[in-house]
Amino acid sequence: MPSLYLVLIGIVVVLQSTFHDIDYRNGTTSERRQGIGVVHAPYESHGPQLELILRREPYDASPTIAYLDYRPDNVGGYTVAFEASEPGLAESLTKVDHDYAGLVVDATMVGWVRAIYGYTAKGDVRAGWVRLVPGKVLFVSYDENIQTQFPYFEDPYSVEFFDSPNGRRISFPLVPAGGKNASYQIAVRKIQGDWIQVAAEVPSTHPCSDYADAKVERTTTAWVRRYNAIGRYQIWYAHDSC
């Protein structure tokens, strides 16, 4: 896949194959909103008059405040073009899968989603409404993403495992014997409200892992809380396995 480019008010910034949600206030991701899912429009659906349009209110006559579009480049790929009516915003593009860019969604209503498209220099959120169009402008929930992408723990050293929702805590270290760092694989099995059941094994024997040639030491199927102590998701996801 070619690198993606962000075009913002005439300035081109090269982005590699991953979109990093950086908090421009302190250089971390901790204060960026995680939302409840993402909205995107596949490249094939784009073209004249087919941008992912953000409006001030959830109706078609409401003013356009930002848009996201793909444009062909001169090397057989495409550029991601984003523009907003408010100048000076830190853009909030996120990677939807290996090929597409999109925006974090923090609210939904019938036929519409509210998407975060930027942050001011003071960290204030800017959001607008996007109309969903079957096959063209799509919403993918967080719950679906952690089941279809590659899930991982945001902080594997603090996650707690339970035998059932609100049940008994069980011990399942994510650091292999003799190791210093966590190495594991998880798969989401069930979601029940604020609890998520995962199948876990230690260490990770994925080809990209330091333990690729090792034997699995232990496995479990257990429940973890959806949120950590400060209200952030405990499980996040990647779009490729390495």
Q: Which two tokens stand for residue 222?
A: 């257990």
The β-bridge partners of 196 are: 191, 224
Residues 73-102 have pLDDT tens digits of: 788 777 778 889 999 998 888 877 766 778
Q: Are 121 and 149 in contact (CB under 8 A)?
A: no
Residue with tokens 């029940």: 192
pLDDT tens digits, 174-209: 999 999 999 999 999 999 999 999 999 999 999 988
Whole-number pLDDT of residue 42? 74
What is the percentage of the chain residues whose pLDDT exceeds 90? 62
Query: Which of 66-75, 168-177, 219-228 has the lowest average pLDDT?
Result: 66-75
Q: pTM here? A: 0.79
Taking 3-state DSSP, the helix, strand and coil percentages for the chain, each rounded to the nearest 5, stand at 5, 45, 50
Give strand pairing partners of 223.
162, 197
pLDDT at 96: 77
Which pLDDT does position 9 carry in this prediction?
Answer: 29
What's the mean pLDDT in 219-226? 98
Q: Are strands 169-170 and 161-162 parallel, antiparallel or unpaired?
A: antiparallel
pLDDT in tens, 18-61: 222 323 223 334 457 899 999 988 766 555 445 689 999 999 99
Average pLDDT over residues 130-156: 93
**Pair type for strands 78-84 and 64-72:** antiparallel
Residues 6+ apart with CB under 8 A from 175: 181, 182, 183, 202
Q: pLDDT band at 12, cuts 50/70/90?
A: very low
CB 148 within 8 A of CB 136: no
CA distance 158 to 161: 10
Banded model confidence at residue 165, pLDDT cuts 50, 70, 90:
very high
At residue 149, the pLDDT reads: 92
Distance CA(5)–CA(241), nearest Å, equals 23
Domain ranges in the chain?
Answer: 4-142, 149-238
* Nearest-5° Cα angle at 195, 191 to 199: 65
- What are the C-alpha distances in Å from 89 to residues 10, 51, 69, 106? 14, 20, 17, 18
pLDDT at 7 over 50: no
**Cβ(149)–Cβ(237) below 8 Å:** yes
